[in-house]
Amino acid sequence: MYEIDFNNPIPVHFIGIGGCSMSGLAELLHSRGFSVSGSDQNHSEVCDRLEQMGISVYYGQRAENIRPELKLAVYTAAVHEDNPEYIAARKLGIPLMNRAEFLGQLMRQYKDAIGVAGTHGKTTTSSMLSMIFLEAGLDPTVALGAVLEAFGSSSRAGHSDHFIVESCEYTNSFLQFYPRHEIILNIEAEHLDFFTDINDIRHSFRLFMEKIPAGGHLVVQGDIADLDALTEGLAAKITTYGLEDTGKTYDYSAANITYDTNDYGSYDLMRGNTCIARIALHVVGAHNISNSVAAAAMADLLGVPVSATISALHHFGGAKRRFEKKGVINGVTIVDDYAHHPSEIRATLTAAKHYPHKTLWCVFQPHTYSRTKLFLDDFVDVLSLADKIVLADIYASRETDPGDISSRNIVEKLQNAEKEVYYFPTFEEIEKFLLSNCQEGDLLITMGAGDIVNIGEALLKH
């Protein structure tokens, strides 16, 4: 295995540099004095930012982008062995390393790396924890899966031993990481194009937990099924968290929860039976109260002043594409959200129902054929929370069309459930329909992990 000497800068190329995680890692390497280049299929704001920093970005992935002087090529999970740059690197004898392995080697440079994992909520919780550490003056290095407005990027280069890392379970990426502490938010059926079933997923999370050394902390959601079986015999110090109104007891919890007219939650942060703070959030929904308790618990365990937690969580406005208010057009509020799993959609639409509006529109783009087919009935169930639903075609991502599933399957089931639902094959048709049918006071949410965000942004240009 190739080992990077982070104290000896070399030329490194990122295949797929425009992705949120890859661009952030490229920035972190650039900040350490490495000569960084990369390629992506399309221009984007992210790529523009990288170029402004002095990072060379090639558009289109071609063999000639791999120069002989390169010492390492890093690639995403979406890049396969038939990629022309991958092939060229091999021919030139340039070491190849996947993104997860690279991030794992980077984590080993920090004595206090914190991995935030879970099926849902990783980005938001990692962002909250990052803001708490920043507020406390702890100067963390950060690697997220989305842009955080506070530093205008998915990454931040700090100068301390603290490294906060969003840790994804897909393809067991997080098993290549080296955290000292972990937050586990939830464990549900997801990415079943890779995992066999929920037991396979639980097994991977157990292996991730086993990475915590003696003296490290595991902050884990106390409602996870058969939690004792998952945590038995771990070297980590185990701390549970949850919402007090579930009737269970936790080491850290939210009590006396209230919501304002924007569905922003406030609560008493409890350490055992002791209230240590009153937290007031500026993000919506019960799911974000839960996320914030996880971040607050980890911060408290690591000795961060609770005053920093109160201030950071109060001023935290969310990461990009997490119930992100994009703007208002003709009195219609447009929000964008990354939700693409039924549990995420339920949390977002439940929160949205409490947000000021007349009619709640959900413009949904399913993400991957396998997920759509597996959770078809669940998608119908959760999308029914919206007043009016518009379906775009499935965003294929890493998959090819199997020919036996489409957005029309969701539409038909929603129609059978007597829901008001529409389908259009192009974004242009969706935009035209929304401009004609949304009314002043309506709330319009574009939702999905693909490029559905473009619809709301296009509407705001009218």
> Catalytic site residues?
122-123, 166
Q: Which residue has the tokens 């109260």?
A: 289
Longest dimension (CA), the chain: 63
Q: Using CA atoms, how far apart are residues 146 and 321, in angstroms rounded to an integer? A: 8
Helix (H) or strand (E) holding 346: helix 342-354
Give 367's DSSP letter.
B
Half-sphere exposure of 239 (CA within 13 A, CB side): 25
Comparing CA positions, the residue from 363, 289, 320 lying closest to residue 147 is: 320
Using CB atoms within 10 A of its CB, is residue 314 exposed (0-12), middle (13-18) or buried (19+)? middle
HEC string for 89-118: HHHCCCCEEEHHHHHHHHHCCCCEEEEEEC
Joined together, the tokens standing for residue 194 give: 């890779």
Query: Cβ–Cβ contacts within 10 Å for residue 24, how many?
Result: 25
Q: Which residues face 269 on adjacent strands?
A: 254, 277
Alpha-helix residue ranges (DSSP H) falling in 8-91? 20-31, 45-52, 84-91
Q: How many other C-beta atoms lie within 10 A of the C-beta of residue 233?
A: 6
Please tell me the distance from the alpha carbon of residue 429 to that of residue 415, in angstroms, as a whole number.
20
Distances (CA, A) of 85 to 15, 16, 219, 422: 7, 10, 40, 41
Q: Are 427 and 450 in contact (CB under 8 A)?
A: no
- Read off the amino acid at residue 92: L
- Provide the 10 A C-beta neighbour count for residue 188: 16
- Cα 64 to the chain's mean position, in Å? 33
Give the number of other Cβ atoms within 10 Å of residue 68's Cβ.
8
DSSP labels, 268-318:
EEEETTEEEEEEEEEEESHHHHHHHHHHHHHHHHTT--HHHHHHHHHH---
